[in-house]
Amino acid sequence: MAGDYTFFHGEAWAEEFAPSQLSQLVDRRAVELIELGLSQELKTAVAVMQPTEDGSSYEYVTASHGLAHRAPFCRYLRSFPAGERLCHANDCRVFERLKGLAGPDPESFYPCHMQLADLAAPVRVGGRLVAVLFSGQRRLLKWRPALGERIAALEREIPELNVATLRRHAETIRPGTPASLLLLREQLVDAAAQIQRFAEQRYNLWVAFQARERLVAEGNHELRAALQAALIEAEFLDMYGSQVGLEPPPEIAEALERICGEIYHLRDRTLARLLASRARVAEAIPACEYKLDRDHDLRTLLDDCVRAYRGIARSRGITIQLEVHSGAPLRFRFDWESIRLVVSNLLDNAVKYSYAGTYVRASVTRRDEWALLAIENMGTGIPPDELTRVFERFYRARTRDAKRLIWGSGLGLTVAREIVEAHGGGIWAESEPGGRATESRQKLEGYKTTFHVKLPLHRKDDPDG
Amino acid sequence: MAEPRPRVLFAEDEAERNRRFTDALRLEGLDVDTVSTVVGCIERLRAEPYDLLVLDVMMPLGDGEAWEGIDPIDAGVALLTRWRDGELPGLPENLPVIVLTGTTRHRELLEALGVSDYLEKPCSLPWLLEAVRAAVRTEEGRP
C-alpha cells in the first residue's frame, strides 16, 4: 500500500538548494563533498570548511580521509571562493534537512554517515519521522580501515539507522493492538522493504558501472604495457645493440625507428588531447601545475620529438632535419611534458602543412639568457594578417590551397602559447614566400613558415636562478 | 676501491617483458633486482638496502595474499599510501620511488604522495634512464 513516508536522496535535494544558499544553511561549518576525479573508488571526499573571517572564502578544517592533508588537495579546496563552491549531493543538504526534523540528534552521527551515505531516507509515518536510513557503498572504507571501525561503533550507538532494526521495531507491534498501530507496522515493513530494494538497485548499478570501468582500465593498461614493451625492445637495440652484439643492420634500424615513431605519435596525440581539454576548461591552469623541480636538456627533448615524427614525415615525403647550434647541453628548468607537447604540436603542424619533397628544419640554440627553438617548414604558409590569430582558440588558418583538407582541433597552438608563456617565454610565427616546391608534378609557390619559441634559461621567480 | 654501484629494485609483474629496461640499467652501471608482487617488494625492501624503487603500480599483491578492501588492481597504489602513512613498519622512510603506470587513474594521488617521478607507459627508454639517473643522483646528494 502507498504510505505517506517520503524518500529523499541526494539528487532531489540538490535541486532544492543553490550552492550560494549553502553557506547560509550551515552555521559554523560547511561540509563539501568534492569530486577529486582520482578514481571511482576515491571519487569522493568530505571536507569540513569554515568561513574565513571576512566571509570571502572558506578555510579548510579537516577532511574525511588521507588525501586531505596532501598539499594539492588543500590548494584545491582553498581555491573556492564563497558561493562558487563545488557541492555535491547528499552531504550538508542531508545534514541540514535532518537538523530540522524530529528524531535522532543529527549531531551525534555527523559527519561519519555523511561521508558514506549515497542514499539517505527519512521515513515518516503520518507526518512523524520514525527513522532515517542511510545506505552507502562504503567506497572510502577500503582506504581507511580505521574509519570503518568508527562508523561501526557509531552504528551501534544509533540502532535506529538500519533496515533490520526498523523491521524489528515493526515486529514488536503484535496483532491485537489498536488498528492505527497495525497500520503503522504495515507501513514500517513496507518502508523497510522499499528502502532495501532501492539500496539494492543502486548497488547493482554501481557494480555494473564498476565492471565496465574495470574493463576499460584493464584494456588501457594492457595496451600501454604492450606499447611499452615494444618501445623498449626497439630502443634498446638502437641504443645498446652494438654493446651486446645485437646491432641491427641499417634497414632494420630504420624500421625500428619508424616503429618507435608510431608509438610516440600515438602517445603524444593522446596526451595532447587530454591537455587540450584541460586548457579548454579554464585559464585556470596555474603555473604551479607545471612540474618545475628539475633541469632538463632542451636538445634531448628536441631529439626525442624529432624521432617521434621522422617516420610519419618520411611517409609523406618530408625530411626532418635537426640542427643543434650549440655543442653544450642546453639544460635549464622547464616542465618536460608540457614543453614536449609544444614542440610536438609545432612539428605536427610543420609536417601537416608541408609540401611533399620538402624539408622541416628543427633547430635549437642559445642566445644570451634565452634558449631559442625554431621549427621551419616549406608549404602552404600563413597569410600575414593571420600570423597572430593562429594562436587564438579554435582558430584554423586559411590555407592558400583550398584543396588541402587538414585535420586539427584548432587548439594546439593555443595550448602551446599558454605553456610557453607560463614558462616566462614567448612564441611567434613568420611566413614569407620562399621558393618553389613540386608536389604531384604541380609547381607550387612555397611559403617558408617558421615558428619560434624562446624560453628563459633562468626563471625570474626561481631563487636559485 | 670502486664506488659501490647504485642499487635499484624494479617491481613489475611482467619483468620478463621489460627485460631490456633492466638490461639497460645494468649496462648503465646499476645493480638491479626484480620482484613481481607487492608483498615480495615489501619483503625485499625490508631485507636489503636500495637506492631507488621503480614501481609499476598495477601489479598483484601476491599469491594468496589479501589486503582487506583493496581491489587487487590497486595493490601498488595501496602499497604507497600505506607506506607513506607509516602503516608498513620496516620500510625505508626516504627511499626515492619512480612510479611507472599503465593508467592515468591515480595520477593526482601518486603525485600528491611525493614520488620522485611519475611516468606513464609507454615511456621512452632514454626518458626512463634519465628519470633513474636523476633519482639516484638526488639520493647520492643527500647528506
Q: What is the pLDDT of residue A443?
A: 58
Question: CATH number for the domain including B114?
Answer: 3.40.50.2300
pLDDT value at residue A137: 35
**Do residues A437 and A355 touch, judged by C-beta distance below 8 A?**
yes
* Minimum-distance CB partner of B27 among A71, A235, A240: A240
| CA distances (Å), origin A13, targets A5, A46, A89, A138, A310 | 16, 17, 7, 21, 56
Residue B143 lies in a domain: no
**Contact A300/B126, CB-based, under 8 Å?**
yes
User: Cα A197 to the chain's mean position, in Å?
Assistant: 34
Specify whether the CB–CB gap between A393 and A282 falls below 8 A: no
Residue A107: the pLDDT is: 34
Report residues of chain A scoring pLDDT below 50. 1-51, 57-148, 150-151, 153-155, 157-162, 274-288, 399-409, 463-465
Nearest of B14, B52, B68, B47 to residue B133 by alpha carbon: B52
Residue B133 has pLDDT above 70, yes or no: yes
Write b or e for each residue in B25-51: b if 16 or more Cβ atoms lie within 10 A of its Cβ, otherwise e: beebebebebbbbbbbbbebbeeeebb
| DSSP three-state, residue A176 | coil
Is B3 among the domain residues? no
| pTM beyond cutoff 0.80 | no
- Shortest Cα distance from A77 to chain B (angstroms)? 14
Q: How many domains does chain B have?
A: 1
Segment A191-247, tens digit of pLDDT: 666 655 655 555 556 566 666 666 666 677 778 888 888 889 988 998 898 898 888
**B4 assigned to some structural domain:** no
Residue B40 has pLDDT above 90, yes or no: yes
Q: Is residue B53 part of a domain?
A: yes
- Which of A305, A313, A281 has the alpha carbon at shortest distance from A418? A281
Separation in Å, CA of B60 to nearest CA in chain A: 13
- Shortest distance between the Cα of B120 and any Cα of chain A, in A, equals 8
Residue in B74, B102, B112 closest to A71 by CB = B112
Contacts of A294 in chain B (CB under 8 A): 134
SS3 B8: strand
- Give the closest of B27, B68, B112 to A72, CB-based: B112
Euclidean distance between CA atoms A105 and A126, whole angstroms: 20
What is the rounded CA–CA span in Å between residue B138 and residue B141?
Answer: 5
CA–CA distance from A412 to each of A272, A280, A400 (Å)? 8, 11, 20
Name the residue with cell 540538490: A14
Residue B68 falls within a domain, yes or no? yes
**Dist. CA B99–CA B118, nearest whole Å:** 5
Pairing of strands A426-439, B7-11: unpaired
Instruction: Enumerate the residues of chain A whose CB falls inside 8 A of the CB of residue B120.
Output: 224
Beta carbons of A38 and B109 less than 8 Å apart: yes
SS3 label, residue A194: helix
**Cβ atoms within 10 A of the Cβ of B6, count?**
21
- The verdict on residue B89 lying in a domain is yes
pLDDT at A204: 58
The set of long-range contacts for B70-76, using a CB threshold of 8 Å and a minimum separation of 24, is B70/A142, B71/A41, B71/A142, B73/A214, B73/A217, B73/A218, B74/A39, B74/A41, B74/B106, B75/B38, B76/B11, B76/B38
Which residues share a beta bridge with A360? A320, A377
Domain membership flag for residue B2: no
**Residue-level pLDDT at A458:** 86
Angle CA A62–A67–A72, to nearest 5: 95
Which among A144-148, B4-8, B101-105 has the top mean pLDDT?
B4-8
Domain membership flag for residue B129 = yes
Task: Note whether A304 contacts B126, CB cutoff 8 Å.
Answer: yes
pLDDT digits (tens, 9 = 90+) for A85-108: 323 323 333 334 334 433 333 333
Q: Domain containing B133: what range?
A: 9-138
A300 contacts B68? CB cut-off 8 A: no
* Contact flag A38-B69 (C-beta cutoff 8 Å): no
